[in-house]
Structure 1
Amino acid sequence: MKNKPVILLNIDSLMTYPLEIAIQTGRAPALQFLKENGTYFNNMVSSFPTMSVTIDSSLLTGTYADQHHISGLSWFDTSKKEIVNYGTGFRETFRLGTRRSIHNMLYRLNNEHLSSNVSTIFEELANRDIPSASINSFVYRGNTPKKLKVPGLFKTLTHFKDGEWIMEAPPVLSLGAFSKLKPLNFTFQVAAGNNKYAARELIYLIRKNRLPAFAFCTFQDLDFRIHLKGPLDIKGITRIDKQLQKILNVYSSWDEALRKNIWLIMGDNGHSATHTKYKESVIDLVKLFKQYRIAKLERPIHRKDQFVFCVNQRMSYIYILDAMLEETKIVDRLKRDKRIDVIAWKEENWIRVESPLKHGSLHYRPSEEVLDEYDQGWKVRGEMDILDLRMNRDGKIAYGDFPDALARLYGALHAQPGRFIVVNAKPGHEFKAQLTPYHLSGAAHGSLHRQESLVPLIIAGTNEKPVFPRMIDLKEYILRLI
């Protein structure tokens, strides 16, 4: 029997509690149908930082950042001594250089930054002569040369001759105005499409009988609403559900949609509600280290610069350029701010973790001394409470407030070479450096905390399950289904 096509619908910032409220109150009938006729997980572990480009990279490669090398929406390339930014906010992007940020997102992300030592689902399927599709995802590396074209008005904002470039992509690629499937489909978003656009592209494939063995489709609008309105916004879920209803209605019945396809519907990250007052909410790293020389966004790195800050909303990388500065001295200053809950850095071949909220330190590294609940081996010394770790009845490490923290922190700290510290904010707070955007009275993500790290997953059309409920386990699961 021919395997059914797998359709993975990635709903940016879909969270467990508001999803369940929307379903219980009858405002999401399509999601309710899929949930009641499938398998439901409310604790799928995301990647770290919990930012879309890192999450999609982990999902599509089955690895954390130490292997795929996409450190976040903002990170520092130590080899080229430049800040890599994929578009954290207009003011910051403008100061860094709009053309450079756009080039990072459109070209370098897939062609240079995503490690060649890992393979995406699209690449592995292509090696087996199995077709696939990517709709609306900025991480899409595959094996098929595709010409992408920038709309005329925006050609001057790119580095491409005549606004065109060739990328290795899946056989079927949709990326807003740059590459679309349905000829008359239109979106006001240039770089990608809104929810209606994404749904129309998927419906077009189904109606034209062009649906490949695997289709990855991202719905992005919900994230923007939650940043402004807070994590309990239900209206955004209701709007997405209407698009899902249109997709299911292409079939003679919703039951037929399950008979013909396997459906995976997931969130990629959660959000933490932020305070209403700037002084309570925002951790300003520039002020915290005001007596040091901090690299400026608008100019190249100077030999006298001591720090580079790369903020990913509720987490940040602090890169140490001054060889005379010791990590412990920097950590002591960070520990003065009780709005920070995790501080981690590499110390020889260990990871060292401390917290302004708890005494002592934790050291760990990969080893076979003790397994965690995901059967990963570690050697752990010191205060396990710093990362809310405990030993379960099976003698394995179990996680509390920071899901899969050992592997995810290790991944972030080994994503790039160089000396740097990872800092994580308590829920309700976020970091700022120079022109970083912040979200008062709204919500933000990026951190290691369970609020942003645990997301829902619905599987319908099959009884097969992933080995573990983690983003990095979905690649093996999808390839097994196909």
Structure 2
Amino acid sequence: MSDKPVILLNIDSLMPNPLEIAIQTGRAPALQFLMEKGSYYPNMVSSFPTMSVTIDSSLLTGTYANKHQVPGLTWFDDKEKKIVNYGTGFTETFRLGMRKTIHQMLYDLNHKHLSNEVTTIYEELAKKGISSASINTFVYRGNTPQKMKVPRLFQTLTTFKDGKWTAEAPPIISLGAFSKIRSRSFTYQIAAGNYKYTAKELRHLIRKRHLPKFTLCTFQDLDARIHLKGPMDMKGISKIDKEIQKILNMFSTWEKAIDEVVWLVMGDNGHAPMRHKYKEAIIDLRKVLKDYKVAKIERPIRRKDQLVFCVNQRMAYIYLLDEAISFEQIIKQLRQDDRIDIIAWKGKDGVNVTSGSKKGFLRYDRGCAITDVYEQHWNIEGDLDLLDLDITEGNKISFDDYPDVLARLHGALHSHTGRFLVVNAKPGYDFKAQHTPPHFRAAHGSLHKQESLVPLIIAGTVEAPIYPRIINLKEFILRIIH
């Protein structure tokens, strides 16, 4: 244990390979310093879908989606018969209804959808009387009522009375224009401050000696650059590193910074490069399943609607509303597209898996027959190649292309109710439905290791997570804070 405060810098879409090259070429001196003075884990396993709201929920609760129940950036609520969308793109958001989407993002995500059966790091610390802070992160649930306010110019876009609502949050919260640590500060991005604004909020806490025992600070800007520039873009890493340099400069020396604070720097998801020809790269689910009536996102669900598509970039949920339609009918058509590498659904005997690019069938469930490298126990039968599984000499399941795939896929399929399939695209391909935003250079969302393995730097402590997975960070953080 340590008396030091813990600062977790979550850099959205930071990946091991470009990070290492940026350091080797002198473009990231702050990250280089923290790496050399601490420990480096290049292959931390993310959550699934590899989308920020699901990953942040896993980070804060230490669970996959079957426990925290945030299935993705967009999903279908079978109980209320409506599409939930936390903001997948302007056109899709506009069609779904701006007011509804903003409310789901700012309020429902934390107060309705994130399960009450799990606790966040903020809630656990509050029980011990320990303070915490959330800077620029949309998953923020804590125990402290906080007054949040929408700027007057944008209040008509929300359903909050007078643009105000009370959030259950950590004692300190900064979320763009909705809640500020520095009352007179200004951000050009209403929903969340940019990397410079984010760093200024953190530096203010350090300068005023208001730094709590735990601070989660998210830099979101790199993700947008990579979608446009490709996975090997270095400029975004360099820009964020300059802000981290300024943060370290708040201390008398950088060595003093790691003497006084435990620093964690992580990525949340990776990106898969897209194929150069956009039309070839896009798997349009409306065309693949053109024989069925697909619900339109701009109107309520109708009786005649048979399917709903919720696309999370390189993965998608396909919901079967019509009870007369069997899984087998949909799967038969999906398997005709060899750009789909995993097709999975819940059955009476567990999780069923097949593919559009490989032959065979696999079924697995929680059990005791065999153990994986994370000491999770499974019953499994069928073609292991479908999930790129291997049985080691110690009779343990190991993973390659799809890290921790058994638990992560099981988590997504048990994250919410309804009749649905999970589909996963091969590297280089992206799903599309109605008004899905395009991703020309890179995308994420799938189970593949390109999006699932992220870096973690730990400096200021010799302690380490039990396993190199994002879901193990909660236990690690709570272990080193007292």
TM tier relative to shorter chain: over 0.9
Q: CA deviation at 1:393?
A: 2.2
Map of 1:259 onto structure 2: 259
Alignment deviations for residues 11-60 of structure 1 (CA, whole Å, 9 cap, x no partner): 00000000000000001000000000000000000000000000000000
- Residues 359-378 of structure 1: matches in 2 within 5 Å? 359-378=359-378
Map of 1:479 onto structure 2: 478
Distance 1:269 1:186 in 2: 29
Distance 2:253 2:158 in 1: 45
Map of 1:178 onto structure 2: 178
**1:397 is the counterpart of 2:402:** no
Map of 1:460 onto structure 2: 459
Map of 1:70 onto structure 2: 70
Distance 2:269 2:180 in 1: 26
Q: CA deviation at 1:2?
A: 6.0
Map of 2:154 onto structure 1: 154
Distance 1:213 1:155 in 2: 34
Q: Compare 272-281 and 394-403 and name the one that shifted more.
A: 272-281
The letter for the 1-side match of 2:469 is: R
Map of 2:449 onto structure 1: 450
The letter for the 1-side match of 2:132 is: S
Runs of 5+ unmatched residues, structure 2: none
Contact preservation (8 Å) 1:46, 1:470: yes
Alignment deviations for residues 57-93 of structure 1 (CA, whole Å, 9 cap, x no partner): 0000000000101000000000000000000000010
Contact preservation (8 Å) 1:12, 1:219: yes
Q: CA deviation at 1:279?
A: 2.1
The letter for the 1-side match of 2:443 is: A
Q: CA deviation at 1:276?
A: 2.5
Distance 1:393 1:209 in 2: 53
Q: CA deviation at 1:252?
A: 0.2
The letter for the 1-side match of 2:407 is: A
**1:277 is the counterpart of 2:269:** no
SS state of the match for residue 106, structure 1?
helix
Moved over 6 A (4+): none
**1:127 is the counterpart of 2:134:** no
The letter for the 2-side match of 1:354 is: T
Map of 1:87 onto structure 2: 87
Contact preservation (8 Å) 1:185, 1:200: no
Map of 1:425 onto structure 2: 425
Q: Compare 137-146 and 431-440 and name the one that shifted more.
A: 431-440
Q: CA deviation at 1:395?
A: 1.1
SS state of the match for residue 360, structure 1?
coil
- Residues 52-63 of structure 1: matches in 2 within 5 Å? 52-63=52-63
- Residues 264-413 of structure 1: matches in 2 within 5 Å? 264-413=264-413
SS state of the match for residue 167, structure 1?
strand
The letter for the 2-side match of 1:148 is: M
SS state of the match for residue 359, structure 1?
coil
Distance 1:14 1:358 in 2: 31
Distance 2:377 2:404 in 1: 12
Map of 1:235 onto structure 2: 235
SS state of the match for residue 76, structure 2?
strand
CA shift in 2, pair 1:2/1:277, >3 Å: closer
Runs of 5+ unmatched residues, structure 1: none
Map of 2:221 onto structure 1: 221
The letter for the 2-side match of 1:8 is: L
The letter for the 2-side match of 1:85 is: N
Contact preservation (8 Å) 1:285, 1:433: yes
Contact preservation (8 Å) 1:340, 1:424: yes
Q: CA deviation at 1:397?
A: 0.3
Alignment deviations for residues 86-115 of structure 1 (CA, whole Å, 9 cap, x no partner): 000000100000000000000000010000
Distance 1:2 1:377 in 2: 33
Contact preservation (8 Å) 2:343, 2:424: yes
Q: CA deviation at 1:418?
A: 1.0
Map of 1:211 onto structure 2: 211
Q: Over the residues paired in the alignment, what is the CA RMSD in angstroms?
A: 0.8
Distance 1:439 1:382 in 2: 35
Distance 1:171 1:279 in 2: 48
**1:4 is the counterpart of 2:4:** yes
Q: CA deviation at 1:277?
A: 1.9
Identity of aligned residues (%): 64
Map of 1:26 onto structure 2: 26
The count of residues paired between Structure 1 and Structure 2 equals 481
The letter for the 1-side match of 2:186 is: F
SS state of the match for residue 223, structure 1?
helix
Contact preservation (8 Å) 2:337, 2:357: no
Distance 1:468 1:226 in 2: 28
Q: CA deviation at 1:185?
A: 2.3
Q: CA deviation at 1:182?
A: 1.4
**TM-score, normalisation: structure 2:** 0.99
Q: CA deviation at 1:183?
A: 2.5
Contact preservation (8 Å) 1:37, 1:460: yes
SS state of the match for residue 44, structure 1?
strand
The letter for the 2-side match of 1:473 is: N
Contact preservation (8 Å) 1:142, 1:170: yes
Distance 2:251 2:351 in 1: 52
Contact preservation (8 Å) 2:86, 2:104: yes
